[in-house]
A = this chain, B = another copy of it.
């Protein structure tokens, strides 16, 4: 469950609204609080089930797309080049009927609990993972089925929100058709993930499954190639290991990435047809024999996806 949902309604700091917060349907406490305190700035009462997006890219993209319920946009007065950004966000909010509240920097700092907000926060309903059943509906999956060689990214137990965000950003940029995560032991789609993804999470669907192994077995039976990755090739048994430089992408492929600490589980490794490695460029000191998971995944995805660009299809 999302931390924001567990916390429910909570108070943060007194703010100085330019536009007083409107009452939100189904949330009488928000409007009640602003009526009770007429002389000093009303405290920020957060609608139940809301969360606070922060940073320019996540807020701008959440405003541009209609994927979340939006409550309020918080803006810090700005100058210089940031002024134009703030003005554009205020216009977007007005067009969507989202109230704008001007706040001082330290108030925004307190609301965001130390996150780097770049002067912008957006109160919104959380984003959820999509289920694979939703994806299988004919009207959703049509585009992907038409592609001769799709590439999907499957994430097993990625727990660090910064890594999940960076992985989504890379997957989107490099042309991955779908991202699927394991439901168990994985990071949810939090505002920190959205910031780390530079807002990609606001435009790119992320799917999850509570039975990763059955899903992988089914794709394998459909003719997809499953490739995993390991930092220590000598630890892999019963699965061929090749360098990513040798891999040829000639059918639908799923790249399966394991957790930051432990890598792929043994059961998932055994479902893979091949393991890809990134050859190191020097003799490595014991204890530092791997890359950061999001850098390694970026390199592997680029190795795969750039074959499409090289061959022009």
Contact, CB under 8 Å: A199 / B57: no
Within 8 Å by CB of A279, from B281, B287, B306, lies B306
Determine how close the nearest CB of chain B comes to the CB of A120; give it in whole angstroms. 13
As for how many copies of this chain the complex holds, the number is 2
Contact, CB under 8 Å: B278 / A302: yes
- Provide the main secondary structure of the chain A interface: helix
**Given A278-B302, A281-B174: A245 in contact with B291 (beta carbons within 8 A):** no
Chain A 279-309 near chain B by CB (<8 Å), digits 1 or 0: 1111011011011101110110011011011
Chain A 134-148 near chain B by CB (<8 Å), digits 1 or 0: 000000000000000
Q: Does A166 contact B (CB under 8 A)?
A: yes
Which residues of the partner chain B approach A284 to less than 8 Å between Cβ atoms?
172-173
Q: Does A310 contact B (CB under 8 A)?
A: yes
Determine how close the nearest CB of chain B comes to the CB of A281; give it in whole angstroms. 2
Which residues of the partner chain B approach A173 to less than 8 Å between Cβ atoms?
278, 280-282, 284, 288, 290-291
Determine how close the nearest CB of chain B comes to the CB of A131; give it in whole angstroms. 23
Q: Does A41 contact B (CB under 8 A)?
A: no
Contact, CB under 8 Å: A199 / B288: yes
Most chain B CB neighbours (cut-off 10 Å) among A61, A245, A291, A294: A291
Determine how close the nearest CB of chain B comes to the CB of A72; give it in whole angstroms. 21
Which residues of the partner chain B approach A298 to less than 8 Å between Cβ atoms?
291-292, 295-296, 298-299
**Distance A306 CA – B299 CA, assembled complex (angstroms):** 11
Which residues of the partner chain B approach A264 to less than 8 Å between Cβ atoms?
none
Q: Does A200 contact B (CB under 8 A)?
A: yes
Determine how close the nearest CB of chain B comes to the CB of A157; give it in whole angstroms. 17
Which residues of the partner chain B approach A295 to less than 8 Å between Cβ atoms?
166, 169-170, 294-295, 298
Q: Which residues in A have some Cβ–Cβ distance to B below 8 Å?
A: 57, 60-61, 162, 166, 169-170, 172-176, 198-200, 203, 243, 245, 278-282, 284-285, 287-288, 290-292, 294-296, 298-299, 302-303, 305-306, 308-310
Ordered by A's residue number, 24 sampled pairs between the chains whose C-beta atoms are within 8 Å are: A61-B287, A162-B162, A166-B292, A169-B291, A170-B295, A172-B282, A172-B284, A173-B288, A174-B280, A175-B281, A175-B282, A176-B281, A198-B288, A198-B292, A199-B287, A278-B302, A281-B305, A281-B309, A291-B298, A294-B294, A294-B295, A298-B298, A299-B302, A302-B303
